[in-house]
Structure 1
Amino acid sequence: MVRSNKWVSALAIVAGAAAAACADSTITQPAASAGPQLSIAGAAVGSKQYVIIGTPSNLAARVTALGGTLTASYPQIGVAIVEGDDVFAAAMAEQKGVETVVQDVMFEQAQPKAVDLDESAVVASEGVTSSTIANTYANPYYFAEWGPRAIGAPTAWAAGYRGAGARVAILDGGLYAAHQDLAGAVDVAHSVSFVPGQPFNADVGTLWHGTHVAGIVGARDNSVGVVGIAPEATLIGVKVLHNGGGTFGWAIKGIMYASTPIAEGGAGAQIINMSLGAFVDKGQPGFSDAGLRSLIKAIDRATAYAWDHGVTVIAAAGNDATNLDNRQYINIPGENNKVIAVAATGPLGWAHGATDYSRQASYTNSGKAGVDLAGPGGDFAYPTNELCTVFNPTRTAGLRTSCWVFDMYLSTSRGGTAAGGYSWAAGTSMASPATAGVAALIVGKYSGMITPAGVRAKLQQSAEDLGKPGNDEVYGMGWINAGRAVQQ
């Protein structure tokens, strides 16, 4: 049964920038977002979307004969996605070879409060005193990116590992492939949308979520903007959410497409990032336990298929500040079969010199059942609203905004221009692609000749064992380290 349901982008808070940062006034930390809303997934009036589990013969003909529409069939995992009415569903459930027909669900949530920033945040150094951050790379906002440095990405880059040859599918709400920091990084030909009526690059809403996630993985090292963890990886946009909401069926389609070789009509990904999740309280009426179990089983089959076909699946652990060892709750797909779930960390007062990058983020989920690794996701818990200015190494320019904003993760966003913009955001949605970026460095090192089990082992063995020794509730098997991951 379902409660407090969120099939949404796993993003806690975002602050956007047309080119850099914010106006010369403090920004109030955002309040908690409105509660999520649950609705039935449907294609038209009187029509609903269903997930079929089973292997009936002549499936397409049976669906048509019973008055339904087959939108996707995956006999290799015994799952199909169909549309029809209640009468169709009841008749379909009686067909030989059908194990379950379960109504698909769409989880939607009001977007977290966003803070729009503009070019007035770019300030000259004259008359202002504050921190100066090293800027080894020519990208103008790299100095404000604490994330890559925190996990040793420059060490991997210096050793020659930048993700070349790795293909990373971004299953999200779309991504803006024309962004100046993503141009040339996105395999547009194999990017697709499974949201009806929407193109893959329709990254809408104030979050620009998919574009932000994509930049964390693979923004190019091109002397503009920011740098991703794996700046030479190939990104593939797979749209399975729209404006913060999506269905289990769309996610299954996305996983199966990303995991299928190009020669067989798929994306040929080696890594899937899913900065999304359905946080389910199993105690509230609304859907039967059997129905929920069936939807989880369908996702399980898709993620197991990915694993078996050489694809490492990485997902956000969720932003509910909940210990998932409490079995009243489950985070999907983070707790699904063969998925690496990532919790978030972030500094408190980075603009004032704090370097506690591995500090547990205030919002992140925890628990051995739901956390495999931890990575940089940022935070917004800094207790005051004073202004801070952080300068580039030459102190010729800096970014000036509320101090707490700098504790979040800076990356690409859709913005309001053709070139795209930049935003700070915080969430396990950021920790997941940071981990996917490290996975891309590993895959690139081995020229793609490494299994998901091998990638997982490298991630775990190179991670810093923080918290309790071994596997623990906060960090799982450890806090990711890009430099060590490619040096083993």
Structure 2
Amino acid sequence: MYEHSRRTVLKTGAALVGGVAAGTTVTTAESRGRYVVDTASVGDEQGIDVVHRLDQVGLSVVRASERDVKRLDERYAADVVFSRTRPTRGGAMSATAGARDEPLYSLQWDKHDQHVPEVHEHTRGEGARVAIIDTGVAAGHPDLRHAVDAERSRNFTEDSLGAPGPYGGYHGTHVAGIVAANDRNERGVVGSAPGAEIVDCRVFSETAPQETLSAFFGDVLAAIVYSADVGADVANLSLGAYFTREGLGSFWGKALNRTTTYANRRGTLLVHAAGNVSVDLQHDKGFVDSSESAQGLGVSATGPVGFGWGEDGLEEPYHSPAFYTNYGTNAVDLGAPGGNASEAVLSMKPENRPENWRRDFVLNCLAVPSFGESGEYQGASYEYGYLAGTSMAAPQVTAAAALVASANPRYDANQVESTLTRAAAVPEGYEKAYYGSGYLDPLEAVTE
């Protein structure tokens, strides 16, 4: 049994490794001068600049003084800025038919565990459309050129860099690679649903080197609505953001429910990362997680300890809950591979850790952007590297949803979700709080 007492010990390890293993640390704050208003009827009122008019869900995102917003005589809340530390890359590598022919496939324990080559005998995700709501997807990456729909991709930030592209950092490209990295170019890695189409919905902006990335929740709402409107079968939100119930909780809960319900009715399944701070989301009433909405799947992270770096084999199996993952029966719907780390390794000084200890993370595509001193984009380097977090677990589920949608093109969002949860099971000897319906099983889902 994966005991809570052990999780308490591992919280110390989380502090040691920080963003390397857990992917991100998220903080939130109200934004001055930017508001979400409970109406779609905001016109060209003096002093109000409409950033997003979301007629479909009766909301508007505006820039204005609070005094001018009050004159609208509508419910409103300050837009929420959520900032996260950038996950430290766990080492990059270069590389040059089927999934097993990809040079780095042998290091992708997540794809081994999900029997991806066998899944592809039934479907590769052809015909499915996936929205990646994140830092941007590098359409030029050799393993993603085949998949990214540049025409439908959109920039929801207020910068001028456009989409698709890794303009907010490398996180979104890694997420997209987990879903759709090419399995037939005999180069790099493989994604679970390489036949699926990727739509880049960028909500993070990075115009100069910095330790944190920031986004507005109003932009996320707009990206969800857009994903539904362009017919995405599934939208991935590896955001890991949450905010206090006090003050903003009521307004934002209703705004999220309205927006996610709209997406569901349009046939778009939403998949959310549960977060990376070892919080029991079921019993910690002080927070509302971004996965805690009326619709969608919340995903916790699992991972091995000892994959490819220890002579004694695995200390913990692929389906073992990651030390950092948030959990809670009512908040987590599925567990999926996100990467893990050993308590003993985390306690070591970096120079003393085993050479290949990061192999317990998830290996996939990276596109690392560079910017000039004045913030101008100078291009990106295309690599492969390791990251870990519920951010990496969510796209495993997103990819599985694309596979199910491909195999069953008449399914709506609820039917895709039901197929995934029916196919899953809680591993023997582990607590349901870490898995919800169970551990992701794409092969069972496409063959049931």
CA distance in 1, matches of 2:390, 2:20: 17
Cα distance in 1 for residues equivalent to 2:429 and 2:329: 12
One-letter amino acid matched to 2:357: W
Are 1:462 and 2:423 matched, yes or no?
Answer: yes
* Equivalent runs, 1:6-405 vs 2, <5 Å: 30=20, 38-41=28-31, 48-54=33-39, 59-61=41-43, 64-92=44-72, 94=73, 98=74, 100-117=75-92, 137-158=100-121, 160-197=122-159, 198-204=161-167, 208-221=170-183, 222-243=185-206, 244-260=213-229, 267-282=230-245, 289-351=246-308, 352=310, 353-354=313-314, 356-381=317-342, 383-384=344-345, 402-405=355-358
* 1:34–1:406 distance in 2 versus 1, CA, 3 Å: closer
Matched position secondary structure for 1:104: strand
TM-score w.r.t. the length of structure 1 is 0.77
Gaps of 5+ in 2: 1-12, 207-212, 370-378
Q: Is the 8 A contact 1:274 1:432 kept in 2?
A: yes
Match of 1:441 in 2: 403
Contact 1:317 1:331 in 2 (8 A): no
State the identity as a percent.
30
Output the aligned Cα RMSD: 2.8
Residue 6 of structure 2 aligns with which residue?
A: none
Output the CA distance in 2 between the equivalents of 1:435 and 1:32: 18
Is the Cα contact below 8 Å between 1:333 and 1:339 reproduced in 2? Answer: no
Following superposition, which runs of at least 4 residues in structure 1 exceed 6 angstroms of deviation? 31-35, 416-419
Deviations 1:381-426 (A, max 9, x none): 262389xxxxxxxxxxxxx972320000000000478671111111
Give the Cα–Cα distance (whole angstroms) in 2 for the partners of residues 419 and 33 of structure 1: 20
Bigger helix share: 2
Shift of 1:248: 1.1
2-side partners of 1:105 and 1:28: how far apart?
24
1:422 counterpart SS class? strand
TM normalised by structure 2 equals 0.84
Give the distance between the partners of 1:31 and 1:465, measured in 2 at CA.
24
Which protein shows a greater Rg? 1
Structure 1 305/334 Cα, relative in aligned 2: closer, same or farther at 3 Å?
same
Matched residue SS, 1:296: helix
Please say if residues 178 and 418 of structure 1, whose CA atoms lie closer than 8 Å, have aligned partners that are also in contact. Answer: no
Instruction: Tell me the CA shift for residue 438 of structure 1.
Output: 0.6
Q: Which amino acid aligns with 1:52?
A: V
Q: Is the 8 A contact 1:248 1:299 kept in 2?
A: no
Contact conserved, 2:132 with 2:198, CA < 8 A, in 1?
yes
Equivalent residues of 1:153, 1:229 under 8 A apart: yes
Aligned to 1:481: 441
1:450 to 408, 411, 419: 411
**Deviation, structure 1 residue 66:** 4.3
CA contact (8 A) 2:240 2:276 kept: no
Change beyond 3 A, Cα 1:230–1:37: closer
Cα distance in 2 for partners of 1:429, 1:69 equals 33
**Is the CA contact 1:462–1:484 (under 8 Å) kept in the aligned structure 2?**
yes
Gaps of 5+ in 1: 1-11, 14-26, 43-47, 123-134, 261-266, 283-288, 387-399
Task: Determine if contact 1:52/1:101 at 8 Å carries over to the other structure.
Answer: yes
Which residue is 2:372 aligned to? none
The alpha-carbon distance between structure 1 residues 112 and 137, as it changes in their structure 2 partners (threshold 3 A), is closer
| Residue 412 of structure 1 pairs with residue 387 of structure 2 | no
Q: Secondary structure at the match of 1:324?
A: coil
1:115 shift after superposition? 4.3
